[in-house]
Amino acid sequence: MTQEREVGPFIFRINENGSGPDLLFQVCVERGWREYDCSSLKDNWNLWWRTSGFPVSHYKQLKSNQYTNHIPKASSICRKDQLTRYLKSMKKIFGSIYNFSPDAYNLPLEYTKLVAECSRQARNSTYENPDNVWICKPVGQSQGRGILLFQRLSELVYESNAVVQQYVKNPLLIGGYKFDLRLYVCVPSFHPLTIYVYREGLARFGTDKFSLANLDNPFAHLTNSSLNKLGPGYGATKERVGSGCKWSLSQLRQYLQQNNIQDWLLWQRISSIIILTIASELSAIPQTKNCFEFFGFDILVDSALNPWLLEVRRTKYQSCWRYVKEPNTNPWLLEVR
């Protein structure tokens, strides 16, 4: 029988050497928790929070009072190519209920399928006014790096594994600016499946007005905050949006209500997207206790108030803490138990 830690203060451990965001350390201390000391405590800890994942053997050695912030294999939906595979597989089985993500192709494996679809769409449009717009995202990149928008296959260039996704051409605009949502999700268990969606989140804006006339303008088409804060329009007071490139989710909902946009059905659909997406990897997740996983869901809303899943992100320190340091959002970390 594994010997449990003697009753005492709750002990938290961050990474291997105790280095991590100051805010995480601050919140743990404010809760009365004690920092882990490898020289005296050995394996006597209660929460181990790591940026990277844990080896499979680690989960087998967990005591009943020990918890980790990663679930084995759960982050596979955070890879663009794996998420595409999961959603395609589920759509074949369950049909239109999985029609919440734009059509996508894994390259180079599905290049011929992409060619066939582009040819089909070209037959229904003219050369001068092609209907199809695609977005190419490198699998191993983030923060808008390496993304390309194109209309014809001759314009497609990629150097490594990538996902090509049908571009949503009719996003809901505020003041002429495109935005998407970053929603934060905690999964404390896959067996049984348990999901918590935090009440706050982010609306992330492009900093140039949206237009399909110029697909080469990243500040009009991409909403990554790390990219748009470098744009010339970041500090400007933009129509309805204001300065910067982020709103809180509650600010967005208030805007929708003030403009007589009934959003209750939208949020029901978004909740369904989150549940169905996480359920898509359920069969691949081993039964494991005492661990949890955080996800960031990127969702675009179109002009008809239909939500579209763009990506799922693994909420590493950098993204989590940038979010919780926004005004009035510290409760995100405090309310996670």
Render pLDDT for 211-244 as a digit per residue (tens, 0 to 9): 999 999 999 999 999 999 999 999 999 999 999 9
| Number of Cβ atoms within 10 Å of the Cβ of 27 | 17
Q: Residue 1: which pLDDT band, with cuts at 50, 70 and 90? A: very low
The per-residue pLDDT for 337 is 43
How large a percentage of the chain has pLDDT more than 90?
Answer: 69
Where residue 161 falls among pLDDT bands split at 50, 70, 90?
A: very high
Residue 78 Cα to chain centre, angstroms: 7
Residue 46 near residue 67, CB atoms below 8 Å: yes
pLDDT in tens, 280-329: 999 999 999 999 999 999 999 999 999 999 999 987 544 444 444 444 44
Cα separation, 239 vs 148, whole angstroms: 27
Higher pLDDT, 58 or 4: 58
The string of pLDDT tens digits covering residues 242-269 is 999 999 999 999 999 999 998 899 999 9
DSSP state of 90: H
Give the separation between CA 132 and CA 164, rounded to whole angstroms: 12
Measured distance CA(311)–CA(152) in Å, rounded: 23
pLDDT in tens, 173-222: 999 999 999 999 999 999 999 999 999 999 999 999 999 999 999 999 99
CA dist 10 and 32 (Å) reads: 8
Residue type present at position 256: L
Task: Provide mean pLDDT across the span 102-125.
Answer: 91
